[in-house]
Amino acid sequence: MAVEQADVADRDALLAIGDRHDITGIVHLAGPHPWPPVPGSPVEETRRVLDGLLNIVQAAQEWGVRRLGIASTIGVYFGAANDGPLHEDTPLSMSASASIPAFKKVGELLGGFLAGVTGIDIVNYRISGTWGPLGHLDPFFAAPALVHAAARGTAPDLSHLMGPAFAEDGLDLSYVKDTGRAIALLQLADKLNHRTYNVGSGHATTNAQFIEAMKKVAPEAQIALPAGGDASHLVLDISRLKEDTGYQAEYDIERAVSDYLAWLRAGHQR
């Protein structure tokens, strides 16, 4: 295995990687800065994100890769009708309240157009709330911060969240090892029948359920959240993923918390 570092917005540096390695597939996980936005020019940030996407597509074309997978997000469903598990054909709102879903919607449209005119197999992966080793403190859900607090033996610092967290807030959560395996299955599948796939657990996990599982693993954790919250939880329909790849999750919340806590307590920072 080789590791190369390059800025995807630097086209020459990116394309040069293909001169040194035989690349057969690409998974493009980059995106805009998460909330809160980094101070600076929003126009320049937009240009960098779009340049990065276009450079990746150009690289895929020049390298002749088998498949280009582009990370989208469960956030594209914000504002959509939410009366059950969200299917890939669910009509999406044309607006977005944060940078990540805004750019991912644009990326899906561009990816679909470019797949049609270039012949590249470009596939969108709408990834749910993913958490675990090497992740960051997500602005949209509390789970990573709760595990970090348990590992430190402190109360959780939730100041990075876009809004206050309550016990009954919930989301389709997927442990990073399951998410990674799902993406690998999609990338390596001989044939995919769709252009877009949901990648998640297929069910909601509330903060209360997460804390209950965590206390089974770490009974000493002093983690609590106020009652209440939004009962309308985003849940992904992952039928396509299962049918086309045979995917099944391997980590329930309790096993995932145990694995992440062990990783953090071994001295890792994230």
pLDDT of 20-71, one tens digit each?
999 999 999 987 765 555 556 888 888 888 999 999 999 999 999 999 999 9
CATH class of 131-172+201-270: alpha beta
Does residue 231 register a pLDDT over 90?
no
Mean pLDDT of the chain: 92
Query: Using CA of residue 248, residue 204, residue 150, residue 136, what is the dihedral sign?
Result: positive
What pLDDT was estimated at residue 33? 65
Domain with CATH 3.40.50.720 in the chain: 1-127
What pLDDT was estimated at residue 54? 97
User: Cα(127)–Cα(73) distance, rounded to whole angstroms?
Assistant: 5
What pLDDT was estimated at residue 51? 94
CATH superfamily label, 1-127: NAD(P)-binding Rossmann-like Domain (3.40.50.720)
Closest CA to 82 of 238, 234, 237, 236: 234
Mean pLDDT of 121-139: 93
Domain with CATH 3.90.25.10 in the chain: 131-172+201-270
What pLDDT was estimated at residue 229? 86
Mean pLDDT of 93-111: 91
What pLDDT was estimated at residue 38? 56
Residue 184, judged by CB atoms within 10 A of its CB (0-12, 13-18, 19+), counts as middle
What pLDDT was estimated at residue 234? 92
Strand 196-199 relative to strand 129-131: parallel, antiparallel, unpaired?
A: unpaired
Does residue 200 register a pLDDT over 60?
yes
